[in-house]
Structures are given as C-alpha cells and as structure tokens.
C-alpha cells in the first residue's frame, strides 16, 4: 500500500455511487490501490479543486469534473495519468495537460459498445418499419395489418453513418454479420485507404442523407458539426428512410427536423434532445413517425467504467502499453458538452 499511487476520484458526490461500486472497490483492493473520493459538496469553481490535487498521481474524472487546465493543476506537479470514467474527454482535457506529458484514458470503448448495440436494435426497428404497424401498450395505435409487409432486408439496405469514432466502429462490427448492401460513412478523418481496407464506402454528408435507407448520427458534437444538418439535408432524405440520432441533438437543426417530420416522409428514432428531459408539450411527442428514448443508448455498462480505468492505471504503473489512451487530436474531435444547452 505504501508504494501505491495517490489516486483521486474527482467526480461529483451525486455520481459516486454510480461508479464507485462494490466491484470497483474490490478491484482497487486487488491492485493494492487506495482511492480518495471527492468529499466537497456541490459544483466547485476551478480554483476550489487546486488543493484537492496536491500530490495526486492518478486522477479519475467523470461528468461534472472540471477542465484540467493550469488553473486546476496549479499546485500539482505529480500527475501522470487521467482515467475518464465516462465517454468524451473533450470537456476535461486541455493543451496544458498534454504538454505536461500526462496520459489520458477513457472508458469510451465500453460506452461505445453499448451505444452500438442500441443502434443495431434501432436499425432493425427502422428496416422493419415497426412504427408503422406495431401496437405498443395501452392506448397505442391499432395493429395495421396492410402495412406489415413493408420491410427492407439488411442485405438490400444502404446503412449510412455520420462519424467514425468508437461508436461507429463498434456499430460497424455488429452490422457486418447482417451483410448490408452498403455501409456508407462520412467522417472528416476517414481516409480513402481506411475505407477501402474496411470495406466501407466513403461518402459526402449530403450524399449520405440523400441515399441511405438508415442514417445514423454518431459523430462528436464539435463547433464544426453543430447544426451541420439542416433543411437541405433533411429534405433530401428518401421516402421511407429512417434517421437515427444517438449522438447529440444540436448536430441537427431542431426546427428544420420537426418541419420535415411533419410531412411524414420518413421515420426518426431519437435518443437525444435540445432540452433534456424532453418537455411533455414538445411537438416531437405528437408525431406518429417518431420514436423517442430518454438518452439511454449508452446505459448498461456504467458499473465497469471505473474498473476499466483502474486496470489502465495498473498497466501504466507497470510500464505496460495502455489500451484506451486518447490523443489530443482525438479528444478535440469528441463531443464538447459546453456546446449543449444548459438546463
């Protein structure tokens, strides 16, 4: 224990039980780690974290943790590695952090697998045109027998994906056994060589929206991507196609999306919204060609995030290669939570 690194979990107290589970505690004990938890109540200003980080060598962050810039790290000269107990690190990292040589890891691969599974499920819901004929619970629409034959088999479908990060890569892996006719991907960082090697069709964003039978928005919310899909792209969506957004709502202009959905040309399956929770009087609730889920695509493996980061700390302090390390360039392409509407 005397030689164990000084580890601090700077997540808000409200989230500690979600991640500091009995399994995480057991894993920490197996590794000989003592993890100090944040005991300060409420949301802290950047300067209030300074003394908490004195002597810390390994830092666990999560949603609600501050950006690790020079202000927060003012009195810390020992930090070697950050393990993010969550997905995107865009709101956590800084140029200064990387310039110090600190390694940054994230549990994003675990979350991505969960989101990919949700995306696969919704792909089949869309291809099967389930919303047009199925009955859901008390008060749902009646079974529509004449429309039950409007299914498109996966091997005849063009699956379009906006993004090529961890979620998209995990989703493509799950899609392959279904042998889609085409897996078309738009991503600014996807090279022609990468696309050819993976059997993907590299495609422009406008063409993706105009040609895909199922369109998945799985890219990061960055300044460049915010509102990038507007009226022109939405109007180009094929009759009977399916739009699935499990990325972030501001990727798509909400007003333009609602206007196009009111024409009932295509179906939308949405897990993310401009305002969350979604207000009960929101117009999306009134549309029969829309399926809504409460920002839950990534839920399911939360209890394993912190354990994964402890294992990365173990590899690091043993001098072994890391498995979830994130470069600064990759971090900046991930979703920046500061671009989301604050409730």
* pLDDT value at residue 2: 60
3-state secondary structure of 210: helix
* pLDDT value at residue 140: 78
Q: Which CATH number fits domain 7-107+300-339: 3.40.50.2000, 3.40.50.720, 1.10.645.10, 2.60.120.380?
A: 3.40.50.720
Among the residues of the chain, which ranges form H helices?
Answer: 13-19, 22-30, 95-99, 108-127, 130-133, 166-175, 192-198, 205-211, 231-235, 254-261, 305-317, 328-332
Q: What is the mean pLDDT of the chain?
A: 95
Place of tokens 């479908």: 157
Place of tokens 């600014």: 188
Q: Angle at which helices 305-317 and 22-30 pack, to 10 degrees?
A: 10
Q: Is 60 exposed, middle or buried (0-12, 13-18, 19+ CB in 10 A)?
A: buried
d(CA 257, CA 260): 5
Contact 332, 222 (CB under 8 A): yes
Average pLDDT over residues 46-53: 92
CATH code at 110-292 = 3.40.50.720
d(CA 232, CA 210): 10
Residue 320 has pLDDT above 60, yes or no: yes
Residue 149 has pLDDT above 90, yes or no: no
- List pLDDT tens digits, range 110-128: 999 999 999 999 999 999 9
* pLDDT value at residue 139: 79
DSSP state letter for 229: B
Place of tokens 């390994």: 58
* pLDDT value at residue 162: 98
* pLDDT value at residue 342: 60
Copy the structure tokens of residue 254: 């909400």
Residue 276 has pLDDT above 60, yes or no: yes
Question: 343 falls in which pLDDT band (50, 70, 90)?
Answer: very low
Q: Percent of the chain, pLDDT > 70? A: 99
3-state secondary structure of 59: strand
The structural domains of the chain, with segments of one domain joined by +, span: 7-107+300-339, 110-292
pTM of the complete model:
0.94
Same fold: 7-107+300-339 with 110-292: yes
* pLDDT value at residue 55: 97
Q: Which of 124, 90, 330 is nearest to 216 (CA)?
A: 124
């Amino acid at each position: 224990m005397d030689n164990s690194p000084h580890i601090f979990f700077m997540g808000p107290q409200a989230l500690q039980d979600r991640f500091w589970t009995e399994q995480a505690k057991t894993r920490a004990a197996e590794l000989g780690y003592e993890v100090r938890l944040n005991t300060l109540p409420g949301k802290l200003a950047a300067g209030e974290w300074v003394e908490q980080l004195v002597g810390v060598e390994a830092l666990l962050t999560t949603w609600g943790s501050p950006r690790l810039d020079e202000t927060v790290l003012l009195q810390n000269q020992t930090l070697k590695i950050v393990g993010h107990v969550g997905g995107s690190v865009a709101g956590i990292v800084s140029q200064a952090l990387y310039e110090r040589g600190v390694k940054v890891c994230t549990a994003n691969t675990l979350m991505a697998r969960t989101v990919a599974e949700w995306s696969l499920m919704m792909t089949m819901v869309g291809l099967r045109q389930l919303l047009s004929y199925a009955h859901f619970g008390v008060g749902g629409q009646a079974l529509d027998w004449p429309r039950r034959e409007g299914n498109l088999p996966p091997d005849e479908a063009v699956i379009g994906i906006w993004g090529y990060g961890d979620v998209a890569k995990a989703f493509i892996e799950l899609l392959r056994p279904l042998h889609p006719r085409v897996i078309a991907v738009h991503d600014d960082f996807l090279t022609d060589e990468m696309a050819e090697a993976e059997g993907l069709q590299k495609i422009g964003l406008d063409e993706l929206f105009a040609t895909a039978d199922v369109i998945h928005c799985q890219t990061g919310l960055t300044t460049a991507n915010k509102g990038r899909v507007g009226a022109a792209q939405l109007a180009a969506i094929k009759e009977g196609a399916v739009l699935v957004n499990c990325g972030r709502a501001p990727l798509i202009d909400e007003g333009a999306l609602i206007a196009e959905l009111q024409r009932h040309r295509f179906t939308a399956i949405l897990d993310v919204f401009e305002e969350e929770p979604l207000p009960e009087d929101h117009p999306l609730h009134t549309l029969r060609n829309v399926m809504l889920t409460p920002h839950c695509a990534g839920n399911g493996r939360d209890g394993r995030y912190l354990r994964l980061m402890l294992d990365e700390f173990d590899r690091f302090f043993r001098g072994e290669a890391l498995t979830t390390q994130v470069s600064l360039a990759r971090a900046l392409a991930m979703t920046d939570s500061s671009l989301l509407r604050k409730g």
